[in-house]
Amino acid sequence: MKIDINESFNINELFKVKKTAPKKEKLCPACKKSITAKVIARKEKHIYRRAFSESKLLDILKADFDINLTYHFLSGGDIDSLSYLKHIVRTQKIKYLLFSTWCMALDDVLQFEEWLNSGKIKRLDAYCGEIFPGSYSDEFVALKKIVKKCSGRVCIFRNHAKIFAGIGDKFAFGIESSANINTNPRTENTILTFGEDIFDFYKEYFDGIKSFNRDFDDWKVWNNGNSKKSK
């Protein structure tokens, strides 16, 4: 078929494009409601760094964070997403923390237990991928035990996000990473952001997740020192 570029034509006819029905909204199988994308827009100074060991990471972050900056990292070696949280815990006590991960190791669970027992973290909610109870059964049992003590929950759903969001005595923060909590030698990217808006952005979303597991049906949403029953 010859086309005169000076004339209009139907591109669907030319390439025999079949009309398709519009795609339906995806439904969360756990809660049977529409999944809505969430976004937050922020404008601030950005710092870009590379690190391949936890000691190097400490050198980059120094003793105190500049909470007016957003930090971007490319990392490898012995750095995982928990490495960034460790530095925040050294800087302040955390009143509330949520984390989201696909999987984690038993050593990581024990680290959270140590922080909870020492009072460095007061309340913890955990959001894990659907493979976690079956493929990491020992870690799942241990995590439920320690989180139950602080009135938190371990929520299982179709999850692949790697997030920390917390608020402490000095500042609120969000850690967004390609890395799971457990260490691996791959190159990973992480963004460290400060402010109650980033904290609220993630907390509001994860508070609304309905879990596959029913171990925490009496769980109550943390609300800056208060708790309210989840709906």
CA angle 97, 185, 80 (to 5 degrees): 10
What residue ranges do the domains of the chain occupy? 46-229
What is the pLDDT averaged over residues 10-18?
Answer: 49
pLDDT value for 82: 86
What confidence tens digit (pLDDT) does each residue in 144-171 have? Answer: 999 999 999 999 999 999 999 999 999 9
Longest dimension (CA), the chain: 77
Span 200-224, average pLDDT? 95
From the list 221, 156, 169, 192, the residue with the least C-alpha distance to 81 is 192
- Distance, CA of 96 to CA of 114 (rounded, Å): 15
What's the DSSP call for residue 18?
P
Q: How does strand 226-229 pair with strand 163-168?
A: unpaired
Rounded distance, CA 200 to CA 220, Å? 17
The pair of three-digit structure tokens given for residue 231, joined into one six-digit string:
């709906």
Which amino acid appears at position 106 of this protein? L
Architecture, CATH, for domain 46-229:
2-Layer Sandwich (3.30)
Collect all residues with Cβ–Cβ distance below 8 Å to 73 and sequence separation of at least 6.
Answer: 49, 50, 51, 57, 60, 84, 189, 190, 191, 192
Residue 36 has pLDDT above 60, yes or no: no
